[in-house]
């Protein structure tokens, strides 16, 4: 709930894009939510339709099939899905368009960009990035998946887990150790095209607390041969590339966290004005008003901070510590605001038929992925 506040980056063009994306999701996604929850992924056709409408890779240059916009066009599309209070409808577009496409744009050769980005923009290819490993969590330095050079190929062995878009991915950016003896300087990025790849296997599609229809899977690699031409950027620079991209990833999560908190607040204000208790609208009770006022304070201050980070990012000035602050603070705010809102809904707030309950289940992971908030605080402390 923004009140009179409008993000400075939300100009008329961006607002129109968000409205178009909202209508698309209302008509093409929400009717399928229950079925997608059960099958743990959205339909491939939905990706292709989104691509036809320009809702994939909006910030990728038009010469590579993208929308030719900036990061704010991506954020508007991501917000549209989140603010419908149906956060778990499952399109992993923030990973596909916000992360994978930008790794390719930043570090890919001209041939790699022209080969893969148009397919991602059209929805023909679904993209994933595989960093996290069993037992590794947020610690990228503990990486164990190896890719050893053998002639004109790399031979990959290892496993990844919690991979968004993992089951359906046609293109996986794989974070691997190409030199096991070189520490972080032995980490590289390989692009794996999964179709027909011998030695590549999708494990379980994971059963999560929330985000039920989002495809999240385990991936296994057993002597998988990947052409050396699929190396992304320079060998040994993978850790450096990941560190360069993490502020962007954390900003995407931060904006999404505030967007959901805004939607939760708006939903709860509407509900409290309609719901009557002890003969009066819930909204007229002082405790309700104070709780909602506190939520409004939390949401607005988080929004202004994140908007400042977006402005810094557009100027190329967003540093890692500030991005970590935004990620930790905004996701903490998201969880606190939604928890307060659930309380105001009473028993109905715990029923999954109510959007606020689904938002509650979906929110918790925000404080974990892209670097747990405890890791964010350690990174912030190092900058002091």
Q: Catalytic positions, please?
A: 249
Residues 6 or more apart in contact with residue 14 via CB below 8 angstroms: 72, 73, 76
Secondary structure E strands in the chain: 127-130, 146-150, 153-164, 171-177, 187-193, 200-205, 216-227, 231-232, 276-277, 280-281
Half-sphere exposure of residue 282, counting CA atoms within 13 Å on the CB side?
18
Residue closest to 77 by CA, chosen among 32, 27, 163, 10: 10
Residues 6 or more apart in contact with residue 97 via CB below 8 angstroms: 56, 57, 58, 59, 60, 74, 77, 120
Residues 6 or more apart in contact with residue 105 via CB below 8 angstroms: 60, 61, 64, 113, 117
Token pair for 375: 């890791």
Instruction: Report the alpha-carbon distance of residue 142 to residue 157 in Å, rounded.
Output: 15
Q: How far is CA 238 from the centre of its chain?
A: 20
Token pair for 310: 């977006």
Instruction: Report the alpha-carbon distance of residue 204 to residue 210 in Å, rounded.
Output: 16
Instruction: Convert 23-55 to b/e letters by CB count within 10 Å (16 or more is b).
Output: ebbeebbeebbeebbeebbbbeebbebbbeebb
DSSP summary character for residue 96: I
Residue closest to 33 by CA, chosen among 353, 356, 345: 353
Asked if residue 231 lies in contact with residue 188, where contact means CB atoms within 8 angstroms, the answer is yes
């Amino acid at each position: 709930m923004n009140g009179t506040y409008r993000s400075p980056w939300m100009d008329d063009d961006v607002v129109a894009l968000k409205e178009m994306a909202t209508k698309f999701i209302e008509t093409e996604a929400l009717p399928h939510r229950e079925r997608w929850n059960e099958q743990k992924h959205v339909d491939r056709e939905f990706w292709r339709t989104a691509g036809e409408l320009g809702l994939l890779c909006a910030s990728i240059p038009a010469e590579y099939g993208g929308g030719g916009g900036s990061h704010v066009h991506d954020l508007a599309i991501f917000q549209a899905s989140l603010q419908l209070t149906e956060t778990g409808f499952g399109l992993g577009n923030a990973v596909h368009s916000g992360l994978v496409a930008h790794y390719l744009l930043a570090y890919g050769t001209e041939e790699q960009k022209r080969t893969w980005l148009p397919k991602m923009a059209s929805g023909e290819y679904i993209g994933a990035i595989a960093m996290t490993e069993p037992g590794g969590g947020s610690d990228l330095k503990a990486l164990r998946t190896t890719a050893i050079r053998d002639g004109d190929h790399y031979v990959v062995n290892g496993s990844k887990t919690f991979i968004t878009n993992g089951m359906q991915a046609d293109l996986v950016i794989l974070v691997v150790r190409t030199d096991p003896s070189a520490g972080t300087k032995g980490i590289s990025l390989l692009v794996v095209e999964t179709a027909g790849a011998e030695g590549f296997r999708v494990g379980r599609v994971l059963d999560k607390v929330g985000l039920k229809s989002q495809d999240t899977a385990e991936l296994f690699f057993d002597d998988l041969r990947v052409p050396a031409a699929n190396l992304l950027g320079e060998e040994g620079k993978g850790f450096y590339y990941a560190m360069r991209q993490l502020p962007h990833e954390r900003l995407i999560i931060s904006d999404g966290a505030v967007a959901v908190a805004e939607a939760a607040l708006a939903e709860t204000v509407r509900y409290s004005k309609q719901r009557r208790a002890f003969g009066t609208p819930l909204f007229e009770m002082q405790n309700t008003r104070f709780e909602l006022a506190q939520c409004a304070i939390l949401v607005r201050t988080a929004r202004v901070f994140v908007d400042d980070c977006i402005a810094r990012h557009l100027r190329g000035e967003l540093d890692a510590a500030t991005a970590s602050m935004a990620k930790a603070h905004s996701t903490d705010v998201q969880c606190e605001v939604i928890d307060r809102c659930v309380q105001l809904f009473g028993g109905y707030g715990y029923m999954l038929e109510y959007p606020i309950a689904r938002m509650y289940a979906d929110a918790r992971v925000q404080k974990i992925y892209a670097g747990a908030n405890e890791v964010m605080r350690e990174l912030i402390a190092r900058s002091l």
